[in-house]
Chain A
Amino acid sequence: MLPIVQVQGLTKKFGDFTAVDGVSFEIKQGEILGLLGPNGAGKTTTFQMLLGLVTPTAGSIRMFGKDLAMHREEILSQVNFSSTYISMPYSLTAEENLWVAAKLYGLSDIARRIDEVVKKLEMEEFRHKLTRKLSSGQMTRLTLAKAILTEPKILFLDEPTASLDPDIAHKIRALLKDVRRSAGLSILYTSHNMREMEEMSDRIIFLQKGKVVAQGTAQEITERFGQRDLEDVFLKLARES
């Protein structure tokens, strides 16, 4: 089967600085690929290029077999993302923000879909609250709700559980696994929580200074580097750099 995401020789230079250097990977349908690396490794720039927000200097990004640059609108209508580092309009309620997102992606039966997502993410208590009054955990849930609301086929998640308490974080991970199973969702996932990466990812690619330095399952990577677990691999690679 054709991979749902194909990234070939992806490179991004900002002047003399190379943020991403010839990165290649694929994501199959229903697969969760973990993107790991220390700060400044190029994870965020890779994400931004995959979302069409930053133009690559070289290389290609194909999703559903189509080139992102040529079929931006068609591809992005089937993709969504969530990041701890983004926000949503503060003066709108959580539900209003979801309504706008649903409309933006051309969803039908918006009210029913919002009800479903609100229930899944346990957002009832703050669905009518202004976004500016949400706690960071509630805000994270809202951006996640926005991401799964549109029933994407590919989801890019940048530290989706970073500001959640362990209980909610556990529920979110279970939800993502469930959505992946039922809808065949493909996910690109970053986190600084190594246990979470091991739990969530089918495969992991490890970025360092913009380059892929290792890829495989969590077990393959730990064995290759002769370490106990992913956290030790991370520390070893991060300190070497």
Chain B
Amino acid sequence: MKFHRIHALITRHLFLYKRSLPRLMEIFYWPFLDLVVWGFITVYLMKFQGQLPGVVTFFLGALILWDVLFRAQQGITISFLEEIWSRNLMNLFASPLKPSEFLAATMALSVFKVAMVSCVMVAAAYFFYSYNVFMIGLSLVPFVLNLIITGWIIGVLTTSLIMRFGQEAEVLAWGMVFLFQPISCVFYPIEILPKWLQAIAWANPATHVFEGMRGVLSGGSLPVAHLGWATGLNLLYLATIIGVFHWTFNICKEKGLLVRVGE
């Protein structure tokens, strides 16, 4: 891997943010709006604090952490779509750039996006609802890292599908992540799910993170088992999905799809 090529691609995308309002909205407007709407729902639910103890911390914490996963996925998929929209894939892949360097750059961009969005959401939650996400404590760091990796996995999967199936699959960039939301147990504990779905949910690294988060917020200690499972599953899926991306890339080159994607 050559850092200068990864740097080139990161800078190419950062140039976009200098002068694009829609792209800035993606970082500042939508996450802020999400937080405001959910914040008011939470304020309303606080009236039933007796029946729903800790509702504010659960909901707002879950919302902020879910957005970490969502933006990490978007960071990868939207970067790929930007190349399709600007008909730039040919320039990139006819250069010495390797597919692995392309992925590394999109992953770095997704970390940038997550950092920006998280700052907005954490600050807004604090100022509007006096909610301090750092009350989760030290486990917040491994939670966030795991959710970023889960976001990458879904992002690379979506990108592979768009590369293989073209424009028709573009809608997955926004929809795919929500396929995983019900089995991520973001806003409810896993026991709510039917037994057969629980088995599937446990195979999802995000479920371990959100279960762990609820454990910590209920006064529990660092959820080592949940973090171990989340990390193990994430590493396994990440290695697999990177393999799938390279495999798809080669199929697209064989079928001549790489030069036609987006048409």
Q: Which residues of B contact A45 (CB under 8 A)?
A: 256
Indicate which residue in B15, B96, B253, B258 contacts A104 across the interface (CB closer than 8 Å).
B96
Tell me the complex Cα distance, A55–B255, Å: 8
Indicate which residue in A14, A90, A100 contacts B256 across the interface (CB closer than 8 Å).
A14
If the complex has contacts A14-B255, A106-B4, are A90 and B86 also in contact, measured as CB distance less than 8 A?
yes
Pair A81/B94 contact, Cβ less than 8 Å: yes
Pair B253/A100 contact, Cβ less than 8 Å: no
Query: Does A101 reach chain B (CB closer than 8 Å)?
Result: yes
Pair A55/B254 contact, Cβ less than 8 Å: yes
Query: Does A70 reach chain B (CB closer than 8 Å)?
Result: no
Pair A146/B91 contact, Cβ less than 8 Å: yes
Pair A55/B253 contact, Cβ less than 8 Å: yes
Indicate which residue in B2, B91, B259 contacts A101 across the interface (CB closer than 8 Å).
B91
Tell me the complex Cα distance, A12–B15, Å: 38
Query: Does A169 reach chain B (CB closer than 8 Å)?
Result: no
Query: Does A231 reach chain B (CB closer than 8 Å)?
Result: no
If the complex has contacts A87-B86, A87-B88, A91-B86, are A104 and B255 also in contact, measured as CB distance less than 8 A?
no
Q: How far is the CB of A98 from chain B (nearest CB, A)?
A: 11
Tell me the complex Cα distance, A14–B258, Å: 14
Interface size on A, residues (CB 8 A): 33
Pair B256/A88 contact, Cβ less than 8 Å: no
Pair A53/B259 contact, Cβ less than 8 Å: yes
Tell me the complex Cα distance, A96–B96, Å: 19
Q: How far is the CB of B242 from chain A (nearest CB, A)?
A: 18
Query: Does A92 reach chain B (CB closer than 8 Å)?
Result: yes
> How many Cβ-Cβ contacts under 8 Å join chain A to chain B?
92
Query: Does B7 reach chain A (CB closer than 8 Å)?
Result: yes
Q: Which residues of A contact B87 (CB under 8 A)?
A: 86-87
Q: Which residues of A contact B5 (CB under 8 A)?
A: 103-104, 106
Classify the secondary structure of A's interface with B. mixed
Interface 1/0 per residue, A64-80 and B, CB below 8 Å = 00000000111011010
Tell me the complex Cα distance, A90–B19, Å: 12
Interface 1/0 per residue, B230-263 and A, CB below 8 Å = 0000000000000000000010011110110000
Tell me the complex Cα distance, A234–B15, Å: 45
Q: Which residues of B contact A123 (CB under 8 A)?
A: none
Q: How large is the interface on B (under 10, 10 to 19, 20 to 34, 35 or more residues)?
A: 20 to 34
Q: Which residues of B contact A136 (CB under 8 A)?
A: none
Query: Does B12 reach chain A (CB closer than 8 Å)?
Result: yes
Query: Does A174 reach chain B (CB closer than 8 Å)?
Result: no
Pair A91/B254 contact, Cβ less than 8 Å: no
Tell me the complex Cα distance, A87–B11, Å: 18
Pair B88/A73 contact, Cβ less than 8 Å: no
Q: How far is the CB of A33 from chain B (nearest CB, A)?
A: 18
Q: How far is the CB of B164 from chain A (nearest CB, A)?
A: 15
Pair B12/A73 contact, Cβ less than 8 Å: no
Query: Does B93 reach chain A (CB closer than 8 Å)?
Result: yes
A86 to chain B: closest residue by CB:
B90
Query: Does A175 reach chain B (CB closer than 8 Å)?
Result: no
Q: How far is the CB of B238 from chain A (nearest CB, A)?
A: 24
If the complex has contacts A89-B86, A103-B7, are A54 and B94 also in contact, measured as CB distance less than 8 A?
no
Offer 19 A-B interface pairs, CB within 8 angstroms, sorted by A: A45-B256, A52-B253, A53-B93, A53-B258, A54-B254, A55-B250, A73-B96, A74-B96, A88-B86, A89-B88, A91-B20, A92-B12, A92-B16, A96-B15, A99-B11, A100-B11, A103-B5, A104-B5, A106-B4
Partner-A contacts on B (CB < 8 A): 2, 4-5, 7-9, 11-12, 15-16, 19-20, 82, 86-88, 90-98, 250, 253-256, 258-259
